Amino acid sequence: MDLDNVDAETRLLGLLKRRGPLRTSELAESQAISGEAARQQLNRLAREGLVEADTERGGLGRPSQRWRLTAIAEARFPDAHAELTVRLIDAVRSELGEAALDRLIAAHERRSRAAYLTEMAGAAGPAEKIARLAAIRTREGYMAEWDDCDGVFLLTENHCPICAAAQACQGFCRAELDLFREVLGPELEVTRTDHIAAGARRCAYRIVPAEAKP
């Protein structure tokens, strides 16, 4: 096994997971490799059923391909024991009722809030708060990134390690949004703009200073 190829292909999969469908040229540029090297790696991944391409036509010249992950590739990313989690949710709901499930989610949120606030302590300004939040979420498997567009921040989570649980119980997503709003503080307004559980490729949050609210 060529470990260099394995590492390069793993990086390509990670890039497609974070950024979504990309052209061969974009993948080559991001990895600082030739277009031919990128095509070879992508063709190997396609043979393994990990990526697939859509052909884009338009303008003059050769049609381009935009590559994306397959369901097989998505399954390689952490799922936090999805099947067991869903079974436990169903068991709590059926045996103890919806109110008991809500209490469990609230207890989880309280523990997360305490841990997040500890890590947020001493953060100087919105950018550092969001950077720390992104770091926490990445450690938890969410592949989080953030960007500052002239004071309008975007926090993105390219993977959801509890997706199955979130789809089985929307309370997890509601609690997550409440958690972000609390740990970032009242001076920032957090709005979810993309949602994996609703069919989006990623979860995304728009974060702006509260005084900028219309």
CA distance 24 to 22: 7
Q: What confidence score (pLDDT) does residue 194 get?
A: 93
Q: Per-residue confidence at 196, pLDDT binned at 50, 70, 90?
A: confident
**Which residue has better confidence, 29 or 92?**
29
Domain boundary among 25, 43, 74: 74
Average confidence (pLDDT) over 20-32:
87
Whether residue 185 has pLDDT greater than 80: yes
Contacts of 40 (CB under 8 A, 6+ apart): none
Tens of pLDDT, residues 36-53: 888 888 888 888 888 888
Same structural domain, 132 and 109: yes
Instruction: Give the percent of the chain with pLDDT over 70.
Output: 86
Whether the pLDDT of residue 9 is over 50: the answer is yes
Q: How confident is the model at residue 213 (pLDDT cuts 50, 70, 90)?
A: very low
- 95 and 153 part of one domain: yes
Same domain, 41 and 87: no
Note every long-range contact of 151-155, with CB atoms under 8 Å and residues 24 or more positions apart, other chains counting: 151/208, 151/209, 151/212, 152/206, 152/207, 152/208, 153/126, 153/127, 153/206, 153/207, 153/208, 154/204, 154/205, 154/206, 154/207, 155/130, 155/180, 155/204, 155/205, 155/207
Average pLDDT over residues 18-23: 86
Split into its structural domains, the chain has a count of 2
Whether residue 33 has pLDDT greater than 90: no
Between 157 and 80, where is the model more confident? 157
Q: Say if residue 63 is in the same domain as residue 89.
A: no
User: Are 108 and 183 found together in one domain?
Assistant: yes
Task: Please tell me the predicted confidence (pLDDT) of residue 3.
Answer: 43
What lies within 8 Å, CB to CB, of 132 at 6+ separation is 119, 120, 123
Q: Are residues 100 and 190 in the same domain?
A: yes
Domain that holds residue 29: 3-74
Q: What is the pLDDT of residue 164?
A: 66
pLDDT on residue 192: 95
What CATH number is given to the structural domain containing 125? 3.30.1380
**Same domain, residue pair 196 and 90:** yes
Q: Are residues 92 and 68 in the same domain?
A: no
Strand partners, 134: none
Query: How much is the pLDDT for 58?
Result: 59
**What is the per-residue pLDDT across 88-138, written as a single tens digit (0 to 9) for each?**
778 888 888 888 888 888 888 888 899 999 999 999 899 999 999 999 999
Give one word for 199, left, alpha or beta, with left for phi > 0 and alpha for psi -120 to 50. left
- Out of 74, 97, 131, a domain closes at 74
Instruction: Find residue 149's DSSP bridge partners.
Output: 152
**185 compared with 172, residue with greater pLDDT:** 185
Domain shared by 11 and 94, yes or no: no
Q: Do residues 165 and 118 both lie within one domain?
A: yes
Q: Which residues contact 142 (CB under 8 A, 6 or more apart)?
A: 157, 158, 159, 160, 161, 203
Let me know whether 93 and 159 are in one domain.
Answer: yes
Same domain, 110 and 24: no
Beta bridge partners of 52: 68
β strands within the chain, DSSP E: 22-23, 51-56, 64-69, 144-149, 152-157, 188-194, 203-209
Q: Which of 21, 43, 74 is the last residue of a domain?
A: 74
Question: Residues 58-75: pLDDT tens digits?
Answer: 556 566 788 888 877 877
